Structure 1
Amino acid sequence: MVAWTAQDIPDQTGRTFVVTGANSGLGAETTRALAAAGARVVLACRDVAKGEKVAAELGDGVQVRRLDLADLDSVREFVDGLAASHEVVDVLINNAGVMAVPLRRTADGFEMQIGTNHLGHFALTALLLGRITDRVVTVSSAMHRIGRIDLDDLNWEHRRYDRWLAYGQSKLANLLFAYELQRRLTGRESPVRSLVVHPGYSSTNLQFRSETLYGKLMELSTPIIGQSPAMGALPSLYAATVPGVEPGGFYGPDSFFEMRGHPKRVQSSARSKDEDVASRLWTLSEKLCGVEMLSE
């Protein structure tokens, strides 16, 4: 198989993408590649000023809108803004995330990692799904393999907090959500597809925000070991643009234990395929976010 690159993205003229966390790292690289392929891209960013800097490089085909996934009011305002301008979205890329941060709470009281990485994107997808015509791409991580879903204490209110296990839980939640979304879309014979990806080990600023000695070590080693953000964005771009991707597929890098390389179909953990946990997490997420999405 010939290695797939951003130059292989089909012409995206006339198509609209929403990319969360598009102001830096993988999101910015994803946005640049989509814009280069002719797409119209909405940069959904908590930091609008940084988003504007990315947008300034790319011309008239992009726009920046504020979205703070750690605040459900902001999520609703973002979707209302798209609705008011009659935006139709071909592809939503749930890219934004935080990693291994100290115990903090979102505006709605959720643990910051599950709140941002999963619940914020769950609410966004639920509120936007009626405007999406093609697919939803959710960015997970190889770190989902250390994750466990605790449905009785999703927000770390009773357990002793562990930032890495909290991150793993949030990334496992991404996979459970993406797979369950596809099952429910299929059950309704919807043409919309749900895909999930992981970027391997990419050199971005995500790893540097854990505020620990380990984070400092990663800051030194990541530029050497990690692949570039442009390479890390390839699984997202592949899943978002290639016509023949399989509904419910999981894509990641093809080399060095999936840490680097070009996109290919990869496998996720057994826990990510637990349909009972996925269904129960879906119901809990609806309750916590105050939304309904393809409810049974």
Structure 2
Amino acid sequence: MGLISLVKELLMAFFFMCSVQFWRMALLWSFSVLFSYYRLFKASLSQWLVFKPVILDKCPFFSQKLVSYPRCSPFTSNFRPVCVVTGATSGLGLAAAYKLSKEGYVVAIVGRSQQLLSETIRKIKDSNEDAHLKAFQVDMSSIESIIKFKMSLRQWLLDSDLHCSLQLLINNAGILATSPRVTAEGYDQMIGTNYIGAFALTKLLLPLLESSPVSSKIVNVTSFTHRAVTDVQVDEGTVSGKRFLRSIQYPYAQIYEYSKLYLILFSKELHRQLCLMGKSHQIFVNVADPGVVQTNLMREVPTILSSLALRVLKFLQLLQFPESGVDSIIDAALAPPGTSGAYYFGGKGRTINPSALSHNAKLARELWESTSKLLSVTPFGAEGNSW
């Protein structure tokens, strides 16, 4: 039986390796993360050589210079901040929820499984008995589920002794699906979870973020894999993923890259709109790239291949555990007031530039319009698009 299982695993790995998508992951993703570290090293070295100050007060969206920001505690004597962390039942989400609870946040943890949510609360409480936590079962690929969560969150805030507002939203939920699946709205599930769900949730929670008595932040968790995208369409068929569902071979690596690029473009456009509306001093938008972290993201990749990849990455000293990989997310979450439009990578509060394509303001506006149009015919409707 053991031999049969091994043969099956080897065959699965062989056929998986025969796909273009596998080699895209193996080659382009490896190059992308190495290039990010190269940018980080180059900028750090140049600053050290010319003795430039590392900490600056403000920077434009995606500054061309390496900027490093200190962390600032959100806690005040008469106010307890509230944050929402999606995908909080494992990996980076769990690590972020724990660290933010240590910083004094009341943490609303969001996940798909009620059992995993209960286990997450237990794990955090075991390490921080003073943690204030609230679990919400939400499917981030379902617009209906996200709308229900918004109403449940608001009701919970009204029923508690907390201020009815939100100080931090971390859009961390994400999946890597190697086979096509469809959401209730007809979207590709991977792009629905990784991008569309984050877009919808952010817009629905903007009133709570805006009503905060102190400045609030949005942190979108992206990936170095967005660098593998050299050209992208933002029409409704591509943004919804429906175009990919008709493909003979499901381009899972490409879809994952697109979803992470979309998050950066969305962050850029949201930042721009907040500035136009005069709300850029109230709500700040940042992007965090954790790098390569050992999570369950690769669970659909054959075990032989994923284990081999982890060993290689560990040998190259690129692999991080969630406890350290979460640093860029926490850096973005605890950035000083007024810090907005930064791409956090490498920990220690450091920021670098994302890909050249992510700077395209026209593409960002078109993506916003396409996504809004897609959601306008769902239960999201006028409620989310009224902002």
Report the TM-score when normalising by structure 2. Answer: 0.68
Correspondence for 1:185: 274
Q: Secondary structure at the match of 2:167?
A: strand
Instruction: Give the structure with the higher percent strand.
Output: 1
- Summarize the alignment of residues 1-296 of structure 1 with structure 2, pairs less than 5 Å apart: 10=73, 12=75, 14-56=80-122, 57-58=124-125, 59=129, 61-85=132-156, 86=158, 87-132=164-209, 133=212, 134-147=216-229, 148-152=231-235, 153-154=237-238, 155=241, 156-160=244-248, 161-190=250-279, 191-211=282-302, 214-218=305-309, 220-221=311-312, 225-244=318-337, 246-253=339-346, 262-290=348-376, 291=380
Q: Secondary structure at the match of 2:358?
A: helix
1:211 CA displacement: 4.8
Distance 1:184 1:145 in 2: 25
Report the TM-score when normalising by structure 1. Answer: 0.88
Instruction: Give the structure with the higher percent helix.
Output: 2
Larger relative contact order (CA 8 Å, sep ≥ 6):
2
1:214 CA displacement: 4.0
Would the aligned equivalents of 1:207 and 1:219 in 2 still touch at CA under 8 Å? no
Would the aligned equivalents of 2:69 and 2:350 in 1 still touch at CA under 8 Å? no
Superposed CA deviations along residues 95-140 of structure 1, whole A, max 9, x for unmatched, are 1101253222122211122110000110101111110131110000
Which ranges of structure 2 fall in alignment gaps of 5 or more residues? Answer: 1-53, 56-67, 159-163
Give % identity: 29
Q: Secondary structure at the match of 2:227?
A: helix
Would the aligned equivalents of 1:9 and 1:238 in 2 still touch at CA under 8 Å? no
- Higher gyration radius (CA): 2
1:10 CA displacement: 1.9
1:244 CA displacement: 4.6
Aligned length: 287
RMSD over aligned Cα atoms: 2.5
Distance 2:362 2:74 in 1: 39
